Amino acid sequence: MKNTIGFILNIDSENSDLNELLQHRSMSTLPFGGRYRLLDFTLSNMVNSGIKHVGVVGSYKYSSLIDHLGTGKEWSLSRKTQDLSILAGSNSVRFGDIIKISVRDLYNNRVFLERGSDVDDVIISAPNLVTSFDYNAAYKIHKTNNSDVTLIFKKVRSDFNLTENDAYVDFDKYRITNIHHKTGNTSDHVYADMMIIKKDVLLDLLDMADRLGEWDLLDVISDNIDTLRVFGAPHTGYINRVNSMSKFYEANMDLLNFDIMKELFLGEHQIYTKMKDNHPTHYGKDAQVINSIVGSGCVIDAKIDNSVLFRDSKIGAHSEISDSIIMQKAEIGENVKLKYVIFDKDCKIRDNATLIGTRDNPIILSKGRSI
């Protein structure tokens, strides 16, 4: 895939109930799984597939993205040689709808897309997909069919939490004949927020969208489905799109399922993230950890059950934490009972406190809160 570049689009998620966790960061840098950020999965998938140049679109919450990506060395990319480019993003929300693939973000970064006379194709993906995906099989379908556009699709499951703006695809064999939204659903296959598109075709569609005032590249492709060669490539493994608090909670809890953990992290390809030199977690004499993920640098003298704890958290003696997500540098006192809670980083809980939510309505503490 040496003739391919990657383009990771920003998702502002202004209409999401995740806003309590997104006050100081973009969706792409939302902490996940004890040590990762959501962006790590999409970026690692591109690198593992052999893509050597990747552009990541930021939002107005730039600092968390720049801090996390750094020089790009953890992903074997370099900002110095422009293997990794952090690109400017625009507001991706329009009245009454959310854009799937922002024409503005693509058009405003045309210089990046035009780079290299040897670049034939562009892989475009959202940053909030928890999956381990090798693009090479999809790329083979793309090349074999001489596709203008290849959409990665997934067979619909009842737990996908699809919205009215999600795109379904209809097929004639592997060729896509129709792209439509949920209200016109006649298909059981949904666009998985990943595509491969010929660079020249993409630039032509951006010019067309600019003339017509279109906001969403997927709409432009749909409007020209009869003249474009649009094919589909299946996604067959685990995938979870984090677009709400319930999906964020679900995706973290899914990591406690060994089969899912094995597919994501113990397969042929690694999910890379920013490295931090840290000491091992210290477990006190009364510590008990059951079916949980615990990041490095923690100090634990409590019972942890079915939960995800991020780095450098401190949990006092005789406390009990279950079915919860506790982000970095939390300080939880003694004799505390927490169940179905989601804490952002730097939260502090006094001794003898009890917070009990439900799976559907967890208690959420935003960054730096103290109780």
pLDDT digits (tens, 9 = 90+) for 5-23: 999 998 765 557 888 898 8
Is a pLDDT exceeding 80 seen at residue 175?
yes
The domains of the chain, with CATH numbers, are: 4-265 (3.90.550.10), 282-365 (2.160.10.10)
SS3 212: helix
**pTM of the predicted protein model:** 0.93
Residue 221: how many other CB atoms lie within 10 Å: 24
Give the start-end residues of each E strand in 101-224. Answer: 121-125, 129-131, 149-155, 167-172, 175-181, 189-198
pLDDT in tens, 106-162: 999 999 999 877 899 999 999 999 999 999 999 999 999 999 999 999 987 655 666
Return the amino acid letter for 69.
L
pLDDT in tens, 240-269: 999 889 999 999 999 999 999 999 999 889
| Predicted pLDDT at 95 | 41
- Under a CB-based contact definition with an 8 Å cutoff, are residues 167 and 180 in contact? yes
